[in-house]
Amino acid sequence: MEDIIFGKNSVLEALISGEREINKILISKTAHSDAKINKIKELAQANGVVFQFVAKEKFQPYAEYNHQGIIAQISPIKYYDLDEFLELPHQNQSIVILDGIEDSHNLGAIIRTCVCAGVEAIIIPSRRNVQVNSIVEKTSAGAVNHIKIIKVNSPVNAVQKLKDNDWWIIAADASAKDNYFDVNYNDMNFAVIMGAEHAGVSKSLLKLSDFVVKIPMMNNFNSLNVSTAFSAIIFETVRQKILKSAKVK
């Protein structure tokens, strides 16, 4: 499953980005032709990518997924190196660090949100965290092809390296005293740490954080989905940047 992506959006975005080598595209003979499938065929032809119309039985192994009658055999995702990333110029940029995310759908949703919000990169641990797979790619609607994804062996070392390079670290924790909208996110490079669905951000990363923030709840039902929680925080940072830009003008 690691080398298969499925769904019209995922395949189309992979073709548009050009970041991944597509070996072959399979389209079900029963799939209804529409604008997206026509665009996929057009881009495949333009880029020399083989596509075939096949019997619906070819899609049986992917029956549990919403493949929409189209899959692509694709090269594994290219992970970026943190040191190389830090050598790039950065000004008022944001990244997210994921600490033990277990659900592929959550990772896909976070990636999609990151691209929409202009997040520069995502850092994921090489162990005890879901990796980018076909489910992640489908859930992200192909957004995985439009953002740098950095894999690290030690999130703690990665955070320390970011701090040494003048990045501010902001961790989300339900027991924090400060609310996420109390932080001024302007005029700094910052990383937002989101923890595992059940365990939250690890204590070692909380200790390294410059800010620890929470999302206030209206009642005691404190079980906000991690991808939803991240959306609230990251779009607050976008809101602040837009307001500052409007004031400058």
What pLDDT, on the 0 to 100 scale, is given for residue 219? 63
Q: pTM surpassing 0.85? A: no
User: 95 and 67: one domain?
Assistant: no
Query: Integer distance in angstroms from the first to the last C-alpha of the chain?
Result: 49
Token pair of 246 as six digits: 């409007």
Residue whose C-alpha is closest to residue 32's, from 12, 48, 51, 56: 56
Identify the domain containing residue 62 by its residue range.
Answer: 4-74
pLDDT in tens, 102-150: 888 999 999 999 999 999 999 999 888 888 887 888 888 889 889 999 9
CATH of the domain at 48: 3.30.1330.30
What pLDDT, on the 0 to 100 scale, is given for residue 20? 76
Burial class (CB in 10 A: 0-12, 13-18, 19+), 139: buried
Asked which of 74, 101, 124 is the last residue of a domain, the reply is: 74
pLDDT in tens, 57-68: 888 887 777 788
User: 115 and 183: one domain?
Assistant: yes
How would residue 241 be classed by pLDDT, with cut points 50, 70 and 90? very high
User: 18 and 55: one domain?
Assistant: yes
- Region 93-100: mean pLDDT is 96
Name the one residue in this structure whose structure tokens are 């162990």. 127
User: 210 and 87: one domain?
Assistant: yes
What pLDDT, on the 0 to 100 scale, is given for residue 145? 86
Number of domains in the chain: 2
User: 63 and 175: one domain?
Assistant: no
- Cβ–Cβ < 8 Å for 23, 73: yes
How would residue 159 be classed by pLDDT, with cut points 50, 70 and 90? very high
